[in-house]
Every structure is written in C-alpha cells, then in structure tokens.
C-alpha cells in the first residue's frame, strides 16, 4: 500500500500528517510555518524525501453548500504550487470542520498535548488523512 502525507493549510502554519507504510493509519507529524514560503517548501520537500509519499493529500475547506470560497481557493493555489515547484501529486479531500474537531479532541482526553506548538494543526492534518484513507470515493485530483 502507498504512503501519504496530508496537509491542513492554515494562514500561519500548515499541519502535516503521515500514513503508515500500509496506508491505513494516520499520525500527526509536524506543523510547518507557512512563511517564509521558500522555507516552507524546503521543509515540506525534506519530509517528502524522508517519507516518499505516493501523493500529498490537501485539505480543502469547502463551504457548507459544497462551494469553494476564499480559503478553498487558497488551498487550491497552494496545491498548484506544490505540484509545479515540488513535482508532487496532490489530491484534495473535504476538510470541513477538521480544525474544530481537532480542537475538541485536544480539549478532551488529549488536553496534555494541546499546549504543544502546532498540536491542533498536526491533529487536523491527521483527521484529514484518516478521512482520505477511509473513503477512497472522496478523493479528487485538484485542478
């Protein structure tokens, strides 16, 4: 089975999660600062070299009606940049409410981890990756 890296693109940081080698379990990995952009690309490129994913899974924040607002357009723009600058295959998956769900988990039994830098972003990326791994029908190549 292939391995995947998932991204939860935020305006300040990008949460990253990785699947196991069987492509069935997601775990939080890192929260990468989005700026400076060149440093972000270099850090992500290093993770791609280390884990050699089949594809990057980009969380796509769709509107409640399924439309693509400003945040989704920014995510699609980032997906395009990753494809052209890093040569990555990028797939998108609806990430609706993944950050809210991650925050809820961090305020519950995982609250000790809530104070870790980027904890919510990494966990949101893992939730996005879990959705992707469980629902192959929801996978769509980004434009």
Residue spans of the domains in the chain: they are 4-141
User: Is a pLDDT exceeding 80 seen at residue 141?
Assistant: no
SS3 18: strand
pTM: 0.82
The CATH homologous superfamily to which domain 4-141 belongs is YqgF/RNase H-like domain (3.30.420.140)
- Which tens digits make up the pLDDT trace of 44-68? 999 999 999 999 999 998 888 888 9
Q: How far apart are CA 23 and CA 128, in angstroms?
A: 13
Tell me the Ramachandran region of residue 97: left when phi exceeds 0, alpha when psi lies from -120 to 50, beta otherwise.
left
SS3 19: strand
């Amino acid at each position: 089975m292939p391995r995947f890296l998932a991204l939860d693109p935020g305006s300040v940081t990008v949460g990253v999660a990785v699947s196991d080698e069987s492509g069935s379990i997601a775990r939080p990995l890192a929260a990468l600062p989005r700026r400076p952009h060149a440093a972000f690309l270099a850090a992500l490129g290093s993770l791609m070299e280390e884990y050699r994913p089949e594809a990057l899974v980009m969380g796509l924040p769709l509107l409640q009606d399924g439309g693509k607002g400003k945040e989704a357009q920014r995510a699609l723009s980032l997906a395009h940049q990753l494809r052209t600058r890093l040569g990555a295959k990028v797939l998108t998956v609806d990430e609706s409410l993944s950050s809210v769900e991650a925050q809820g988990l961090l305020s519950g039994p995982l609250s000790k981890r809530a104070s870790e830098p980027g904890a919510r972003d990494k966990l949101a990326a893992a939730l996005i990756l879990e959705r992707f791994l469980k629902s192959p029908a929801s996978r769509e190549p980004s434009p």
